[in-house]
Amino acid sequence: MRHSRKLAVGLGIPILIAVEIGCGPKVDADLRPFVQLQDEKAAAQLLCKPVDKQIDIYLRIAAPSPEPVDYSPGKVIATRNGDIGRLLSARITQEGDRTNLESLVRLAGQYCSLNPSCRNEYFLEDSVKTAAQRIPNWSQDPFVAQNVKWVSDGVNANSTPRLK
């Protein structure tokens, strides 16, 4: 009986490790430093890349992640790169994949809620609203709807009325 219990306990640890590794997020090894981005060293590593590459990394992490999706690199990208509105607008306009489009809308929402550079970037608001129309039932999706609102609020914060 003792031998059976020791064997079961002995096998339990390797099985637990295998389950942890096998059931974890499927992220490429080169992206691991940027998953659940929490320290300054990893942020600096991300920021040394061109902004377009940073966004590619963000999308590669967000796409395969289990719920909840890891958007931690987004905050770093949104706050530490200055004015990225034109680049975001272009990426949103060109994106054909729905998952990536939703992630880019999230990034735009983070950018406009955290970075004052978003103010008066009406082109970004227009591209986000147009992109939202390509997402079925976007207004009923709290994730998308909230980020569309953050973009609108950020663009229009303390601004003069927009002429149409």
How does pLDDT run along the chain (164 residues), one tens digit per residue? 555 555 444 554 444 344 344 444 466 777 877 887 777 888 898 899 999 999 999 998 887 655 566 777 889 999 999 999 999 999 999 999 999 999 999 999 999 999 999 999 999 999 999 999 999 999 999 989 999 999 999 999 875 544 44
Residues 79, 117 contacting (CB under 8 angstroms): no
pLDDT at 24: 47
Domain assignments of the chain as residue spans, ordered by start: 28-156
Instruction: Name the region of 65 (left: φ>0; alpha: ψ -120 to 50; beta: rest).
Output: beta
Q: CA neighbours within 13 Å on the CB side: how many for 78?
A: 24
Question: Measured between alpha carbons, how far apart are the two ends of the chain, in Å?
Answer: 81
